Amino acid sequence: MASFKQKIARYLYPLILRLGRKGKNGTILSNEGNVPPKKPFPLEQIIFSNGSKPDLMSYSGKMILVVNTASNCGYTGQYAELQTLHEGFSQKLVILGFPSNDFKEQEKANDQEIAQFCQVNYGVTFPILKKAVVVPHSDQHPVFKWLTSSTLNGWNDHAPDWNFSKYLLDEKGNLIHYFGPSVSPLDDVFINAIGLKNK
């Protein structure tokens, strides 16, 4: 069940999205030089919220979108948009939601509560992972350490600006884009940049 604060944030989401595009939350970065990673993307470090691990073969030949999420954020409405993206493009794209409490403590719930919140309020069926540290820190999750270190991914050092920052990898495991929180996953600039077409 959504709290009063969560309901207000959901109502204000379109305004927050519009205002955020003018600042750092609207940042878009691209791997212009097609620089390959220096180390492979650490897929083996992915653990779902229930403690299980994915069948890595099911990710073969697909793009991967990594998003740091939170349940009490102005951008939480993007769960619904990510679900729409998942339903339309699951044959080509894997979405990985990484809940995090790194930004203004907007995700205090435990793994089970987070998964239930996502399913009940947004019908989420894409993978929600165990809660993790996503910003540079000694406890930063290996996936985000790779995403935010050019010595690993080949070119990008940009850490998440806020909840619902998005990192896109191509089918070969190359990091190709970063999209700030206020870039909707259903925005034309997002869809066009990643070259997705619904089949």
Catalytic residue among 65, 73, 94, 129: 73
- The span from the CA of 78 to the CA of 23, in Å, is 18
| Direct distance between the N- and C-terminal alpha carbons of the chain, in angstroms, rounded to an integer | 34
Residue 116 makes CB contacts below 8 A (sequence gap 6+) with none
Residue 122 near residue 79 (C-beta atoms within 8 A) = yes
Q: How far apart are CA 61 and CA 137, in angstroms?
A: 31
Q: Is 73 among the residues known to form the active site?
A: yes
**What span, in angstroms and rounded, lies between the C-alpha atoms of 11 and 20?**
16
Q: What's the DSSP call for residue 136?
A: S
Closest CA to 96 of 142, 38, 39: 142
CA distance 113 to 161: 25
Catalytic residue IDs: 73
